[in-house]
Amino acid sequence: VTLTTQQYTLGSLILMVSYGACFAFILFFMMNSQNLAPRYRLVPILSAVVMASAGLSLLQEFNLWKDSYAFVDGAYRPLAENETFTNAFRYGNWTITVPILLTQLAIAMGLKQSDIQRRSLRMAVPGVLMIWAGLYGQFGEVGDFSHLNLWGVVSTIFFLWLILEVRQTLISGINNTPDILKPWPSNLWWFFLATWGLYPLAYALPQLGATGDIVVARQAIYSVADIFSKLVFGIILTRFVLRRSSYEG
């Protein structure tokens, strides 16, 4: 797909802002881990790890974006036919970050050590299967939407399974949560659905047409979803465990 100068610039801007935000917030999470009860310290530490790994993959996407287009005859044209630009790095990165994000959730809910392990594993399995099904579907992206859709459906089934497991985790979390903080887990539930739910939209988007606007809109949706499901999620969980630490003494 050929992009106008505006579209091209907007795309690189979105990617730059995303990786910049990720790298910058490493510091935020590292500094915050000091003020917590030891059992919750891992929550911001893991957010710092997520930020570093997401920042690196978004930096790769940014470089790939620049390398995939050349300015010829007043527009940015893909250097190779069949799109060398790919979102695959994002999917690779999610393979690491999704299990970490879900583990953070189990830790923040204040579950027992053995429950944390069991619950994290039960969430990580459908999470990783969902991503790999989507990654495999992505590869067939060019031209053939039936491949994209078939694997999108497979991935969505894993997503539904994941949603049930996350719900389970939050429900067992509510019981251990000090009364005054009880609304947090259910707010987290809606936050989770709203932010993770954006990814399938971006995945399905190319079917609306092979235009520059759609290419850029896809980057925008993926990036907004990334910032909310990783960075804002990390901030919320860190504040939650800060409160927990002070109520639980």
User: Which residues here bind ligand RET, judged by CB under 6 A?
Assistant: 94, 97-98, 101, 130-131, 134, 152, 155-156, 159, 196, 199-200, 203, 229-230
Backbone φ, ψ for residue 70 (5° rounding): -130, 145
Contact characters 187-226, a copy of itself, x per CB under 8 A: ----------------------------------------
Asked if 6 interacts with a copy of itself (CB under 8 A), we say: yes
Q: Where does the chain have alpha helices with state H?
A: 5-32, 42-68, 88-108, 113-139, 145-176, 183-196, 198-204, 212-226, 233-248
Kindly tell me which of 19 and 199 has the beta carbon lying closer to ligand RET. 199
Q: Using the Cα atoms of residue 213, residue 219, residue 220 and residue 225 in order, give the sign of their dihedral.
A: positive
The kind and range of the H/E element at 71 are strand 69-72
200 binds, among a copy of itself, ligand RET, none (CB under 5 to 8 A by kind): ligand RET
Beta-strand pair 69-72/75-78:
antiparallel
CA distance 88 to 137: 10
Q: Scanning residues 75 to 134, which ones bind a copy of itself (CB under 8 A)?
A: 79-82, 84, 86, 88-89, 91-93, 95-96
Q: Tell me, by CB under 8 A, how many residues bind a copy of itself.
A: 50
**Among 249, 227, 234, which Cα is nearest to 44's?**
234
Nearer Cβ to ligand RET (8/159) = 159
- The rounded distance, in Å, linking the Cα atoms of 187 and 185 is 5
Residues that bind a copy of itself (CB under 8 A): 5-6, 9-10, 13-14, 16-17, 19-21, 23-28, 30-33, 35, 38, 41, 45-46, 48-50, 52-53, 56-57, 60, 71, 74, 79-82, 84, 86, 88-89, 91-93, 95-96, 139
